[in-house]
Amino acid sequence: MTRKRLVKLLMGCGYSRNDAQLLADSARAYPSYAEYWRRRQSLIFSFHKATLPAARALRQMAKALKAIDWDACAAATRQLINALKGSEESTS
């Protein structure tokens, strides 16, 4: 794999041209650009696989938060505050 190809692949992953160039510079520490790319993809896959359960849990939490009726929660909070204010006035 050529350096130019590596830069294009990195840019395809969302890196800016300058960032891709910097990563390609660091890839010189590897035996080849292809080996750098293979190890990078393997690391990304391993990271994705390890974080998949957490991502699923976050999606479930987001879905649960969207299901909450926030207007009803606010109304109940106002009622509670008013009830507590009323009990303070009656004890004074």
61-71: string of b/e by CB count within 10 Å (b at 16+)? eeeeeeeeeee
Segment 35-74, tens digit of pLDDT: 999 999 998 878 878 888 888 898 999 999 999 999 999 9
Confidence class for position 90, pLDDT limits 50, 70, 90 = low
Cα distance between residue 61 and residue 53, in whole Å? 12
- Give the global pTM: 0.53
Contact 9, 21 (CB under 8 A): no
Cα distance between residue 61 and residue 55, in whole Å? 10
Amino acid identity of residue 61, one-letter, is: M
What pLDDT shows up at residue 88?
67
